[in-house]
Amino acid sequence: MRTIFFILWLFSATAASAQAVAVSTRPFSELALYPQREAYATVISLNDSRIAAEVTARILEIPVEVGEVVNKGATLARLDSRDYALAAERAAAALESAKSTHQLAEQQLDRARKLVDDGFISAEALNLRETELSTAAAQLKSAETDMATARRNVQKCLVKAPFRAIVKERIGQVGEIATPGAALVRVLDAGNIEISARVQPDHVAALRENKRLTFESASGSFPLKLRRIVPALDQRERNQEARFRFLKEGALPGTAGRVVWQSTQAHLPPDLVLRRDGTLGVFVASAGKAKFVSLPLAQEGRPAPADLDPGTLIVTAGRYQLQDGDAIVTAGPQ
Q: What count of other Cβ atoms lies within 10 Å of the Cβ of residue 48?
A: 13
Which amino acid, 25?
T
**Pair (99, 211) in one structural domain:** no
Domain harbouring 230, CATH code: 2.40.30.170
* Helix (H) / strand (E) containing 240: strand 240-246
Number of domains in the chain: 4
**Pair (179, 272) in one structural domain:** no
Domain harbouring 171, CATH code: 2.40.50.100
Give all strands (DSSP E) within 96-218, no chain letters. 158-160, 165-170, 177-178, 183-189, 193-199, 213-217
Between helices 123-155 and 82-118, what is the axis angle to 10°?
A: 160
Tens-digit pLDDT profile for the chain (334 aa)? 454 443 443 444 444 444 788 888 999 999 998 888 889 999 999 999 999 999 999 999 999 999 899 999 999 999 999 999 999 999 999 999 999 998 988 888 888 787 777 667 777 777 888 888 888 899 999 999 999 999 999 999 999 999 999 999 999 999 999 999 999 999 999 889 999 999 988 888 888 888 889 999 998 999 999 999 988 888 787 889 999 999 988 888 889 999 998 888 889 999 999 999 889 999 999 888 999 999 998 888 888 888 899 899 999 998 888 899 899 898 755 5
Number of H helices, E strands in the chain: 5, 22
User: Does some domain include residue 56?
Assistant: yes
H-only helix segments in 66-223? 82-118, 123-155, 204-209
**Pair (227, 314) in one structural domain:** no
Which amino acid, 160?
K
User: Does some domain include residue 13?
Assistant: no
Q: Is the pTM of this model over 0.75?
A: no
DSSP state of 252: P
Structural domain harbouring 73: 50-80+156-189
**Pair (145, 171) in one structural domain:** no
User: Does some domain include residue 324?
Assistant: yes
**Pair (214, 298) in one structural domain:** no
